[in-house]
Amino acid sequence: MKSGRAVNLGVTLLMVLVAQFGMAAGPQAKYATGSPESKELTVTERFHYIERVFAPQVALPRVSDPPESVNMPEQGLISQFSSIDALDYDWWLSTWDDDSQKKLLERDVAAGKTKKDWQQQWQTKAGKMNVVLTRWIMSGQYVILAYTLSTSDQKAAGTLPETAMAFKQWKGSWKATLDLESDPVLLHFADTKNRFERVVRP
């Protein structure tokens, strides 16, 4: 009797596995379908922003100490470049919002980069950078400041490329932020075209 039960149990188990395998095979294995058609779904995203041009362009001044209050994004950028000129890493880090500070510190740990490495990186350009504001851009809660950057020996080098830094109000002060580091407005602010397309899944 035990042997018969074992055989019956084995047969039953085999039937369950076959049934499950058949279900997992998908509808194409069981039902007829037509020829496959290649289709495409297009989703359009619009990023609205306001842009103002500095006219005339503004040479960024410096301060000797961390400001007690930063009431404008421009003051935040002044503070950031002043900290680099002073080779003051802690001051520089404080110009970023909390989440960005955390990201920067995590990236430094991953790259094995120290405070001293930052200071050595700044050493060659500290006090020599000419920063000129070119554009003021507002996108949502963020203000993006576009500027050109050169050293004294680049003054007459013709048109300089623009770079930009994003700022937001954080705890009552304007702070630099990494929130927009992958944002199309920040990435393409200097491009001449305003329509871009990317294939998500080819």
CATH number at residue 145: 3.10.450
- 59 and 13 both lie in a single domain: no
Task: Determine the Cα–Cα distance for residues 96 and 176; give it in Å rounded to an integer.
Answer: 5
- 54 and 27 both lie in a single domain: no
Task: Determine the Cα–Cα distance for residues 61 and 123; give it in Å rounded to an integer.
Answer: 19
- 79 and 146 both lie in a single domain: yes
Residue labelled with tokens 């047969």: 11
Q: Say what the pLDDT of residue 30 is.
A: 78
Selection from 1, 178, 189 nearest residue 93 by Cα: 178
- 2 and 96 both lie in a single domain: no
Residues in the chain: 202
Q: Is residue 41 assigned to a domain?
A: no
- 127 and 81 both lie in a single domain: yes
- 82 and 3 both lie in a single domain: no
Q: Is residue 122 assigned to a domain?
A: yes
Q: Say what the pLDDT of residue 33 is.
A: 86
Per the structure, the complete domain to which residue 25 belongs is given by 1-31
- 8 and 89 both lie in a single domain: no
Per-residue pLDDT of the chain (202 residues; tens, 9 = 90+): 444 444 344 444 444 444 444 444 455 567 888 888 888 887 778 888 999 999 999 999 999 999 999 999 999 999 999 999 999 999 999 999 999 999 999 999 999 999 999 999 999 999 999 999 999 999 999 999 999 999 876 655 567 899 999 999 999 999 999 999 999 999 998 887 777 777 777 6
- 127 and 27 both lie in a single domain: no
Q: What is the pTM of this model?
A: 0.76
- 99 and 1 both lie in a single domain: no
The SS3 assignment for 158 reads coil
Q: Is residue 202 assigned to a domain?
A: no
Q: Is residue 127 assigned to a domain?
A: yes
Q: Is residue 194 assigned to a domain?
A: no
Q: Is residue 43 assigned to a domain?
A: no
Total count of domains within the chain: 2
- 15 and 70 both lie in a single domain: no
Q: Say what the pLDDT of residue 176 is.
A: 98
Q: Is residue 105 assigned to a domain?
A: yes
- 100 and 149 both lie in a single domain: yes
Task: Determine the Cα–Cα distance for residues 166 and 175; give it in Å rounded to an integer.
Answer: 8
- 76 and 147 both lie in a single domain: yes
